[in-house]
Amino acid sequence: MDLKKGIITALLSVFTGVIFAQTPDFALEVQPNMQRLLLSADTDNDKKITIEDSPKMPFLAATIAGDSIAINEVYYLSNLLQELAQAREKGEDTLKISLSEIKEPPSQRISRRIKNYFWDDLTRTIDKKGLKKILRDTKASGDVQRLYVPPNDTVGLEYFKNLEKEYPDFEVVVLPQKITPDYVKSINDEPGLLALKIENGKGVPFVVPGGRFNEMYGWDSYFEGVGLILDGRVDLAKAMVDNFIYQINHYGKILNANRSYYLTRTQPPFMSSFVREVFEASEEKDTVWLRKALDAAITEYEQVWMEEGERLTENGLNRYFAQGIGIPPETEKGHFEAVLKEYAAKHGLPAAEFEEKYKSEEIEDKDLDEYFRHDRSVRESGHDTSWRLENRAAHLNTVDLNSLLYKYEKDFLYLISEYFGGSFTHSSGKGYSDAYWAEKAEKRKDLMNRYLWDEEKGSFFDYDFQKGEQTGYISATNFYPLWAKMASEEQAQRMVPNLLQDLKARGGILASAKSSAEKTATNEVQRQWDYPYGWAPHQMLLWEGLLNYGYEKEAHELIYRWLWMITKNATDYNGTIPEKYDVVNTTHKVYAEYGNVGTEFDYITTSGFGWMNASYQLGLELLPKEYREKLDKLVRPEALF
């Protein structure tokens, strides 16, 4: 009887996942099990286990105790592969694990890995410790890797000059006091990273967007900061603000990224939000730090955004307006091939010859200069590229930028009122009252309603101040006033149905409407910040925008759609968390412009993608518990909504 019972138990255990194993935890030899698993389940030999494989089921993992563990389903097999790969990476011969870990609910697993692994893997420092990565940097050319250091950073200069003596392939270049477009052009063939803050003999850390990056990006950093704060890493978020303060004080702006060719370009402004959220998440309310951070944010506001004739236009609203001369050097080879051929024909020259003569300024062409001014401004907007901004970015008062600056003004009002008694003296000696910022915000709201609001369509649109008309382009950025709390309740009532009608897709919020992209496009090239793609920052801002105005049901639906898409792709594709998605077809298989960072890895992703990680953590934070349970069961959105 006991023998018969044992046989039945063993047979049943094949289907429930365990053969002979009597305890929930077991130990596996890493190398032999990993080899067998890959041979059995990675049938397309891409070093991942995905739904595109045809694994033999079940896989019998051999334990050190002599038992076998039966693993079924692609998700469980890929989890086992990831755990074995991680153990091997640590130099461990044995993996101790349990079935519950292998079968961990997907949202829990993704969130845990973001919190415990991804942030650390994406953290960098510009110092001796981080130099190994810098010296292997793929974005710099030649045998020498350069680091550009501001002339007035005496601490950094001393630190990096000492390092220069240790590394023969490392060169420290001191920047001039005044950075001009001509100077930046002169070093295009000698690119390098820009120094960030050195404190107590170490580089102040920062998070990069993806594993292949070594530079700190502008608006990416804010969204990463949101995720870091949620994951209890306020220290790292605060360090990133400190690096922004350094950039403002030494480079005059928050940079597109800390690379030499970005010295004349900023990115969408989120400094006030970053400062406010870090300060209020900190256990210790350090008003000395807040004063320093607020001072830098006001400097950026005044010197970067409010200089007339530059990023401030005659009508009182703002635009993206990146400076620079000639062809942006950071683009991939051939990126401007079609444009340069067109202008080469105009000048009666072969394309290669025209390009060289244009670069050397032997040939001047004002129209082409204007094209590249717009192109750089598109990149400054962070939305590189979109038909919304094509060949007109520098002529647009955009909804997104003016909403963000309205948020600055309201944040300055709040911080000065709440923590400085209604009055703040800037390091320049200029005094600011909370009433001053209240007036600034009210004026901007009036101008946005005058130039950007379309009463008939019930939406904000970018305004072309050269033509004196709105563009009518339907984009996720049109809804930033909800996040900034700039829209009235009546405007929100008009806007929300438009958002859901024009931009809701199966996997979340579209970057732009299909109709607008098709109407505006001048060729068949798909732009990555347009239909059918969706991006983490848009989701995060618009979820919170909807919640600001009480649209909880709508927000929860859009959050679920986005998280479901990420979770489904991760379970089907070995834990993949990429840069962007096609939200119509709910896939990470995106090939428009630059590919998709975060999809190329062997066995296990160690970093995901910065703001994608943050959007997942924020989404889980905002999503009601009952939806999370459905998420773990991968219940399709159309079954719920």
CA-CA distance, 568 to 579, in Å (whole number)? 15
Query: Which residues is 12 bridged to in the sheet?
Result: none
CA-CA distance, 18 to 22, in Å (whole number)? 8
The token pair that represents 12 in the structure block: 């049943």
- Is 169 among the catalytic positions? no
- How big is the CA angle at 462 (ends 256 and 436), to the nearest 5 degrees? 75
Active-site hit among 104, 137, 375, 384: 384
Give burial (CB, 10 Å; 0-12/13-18/19+) of 86: middle
Nearest residue to 126 (alpha-carbon basis) of 266, 253, 257, 252: 257
- Is 127 among the catalytic positions? no
Cβ neighbors of 322 (< 8 A, separation 6 or more) are 256, 264, 265, 266, 373, 376, 377, 379, 380, 394
- The answer to whether 368 touches 343, Cβ cutoff 8 Å, is yes
Nearest residue to 178 (alpha-carbon basis) of 263, 297, 266, 303: 263
- The stretches of 258-385 forming alpha helices (DSSP H) are 271-281, 287-300, 337-346, 351-359, 366-380
Query: Which residues is 148 bridged to in the sheet?
Result: 173, 194
Q: Could you say which DSSP state residue 335 is in?
A: T
Q: Taken in order 326, 328, 334, 340, is the CA torsion positive or negative?
A: negative
Query: Would you report the helix, strand and coil content of the chain in percent, each value rounded to 5?
Result: 50, 10, 40
Active-site hit among 295, 380, 579, 582: 579
CA-CA distance, 402 to 396, in Å (whole number)? 11
Q: Could you say which DSSP state residue 131 is in?
A: H
The token pair that represents 139 in the structure block: 């974005």
- The answer to whether 528 touches 594, Cβ cutoff 8 Å, is yes
- The answer to whether 214 touches 124, Cβ cutoff 8 Å, is yes
Q: Report the chain's terminal Cα–Cα distance, integer Å.
A: 53
Instruction: Give the residue numbers marked as catalytic.
Output: 384, 579
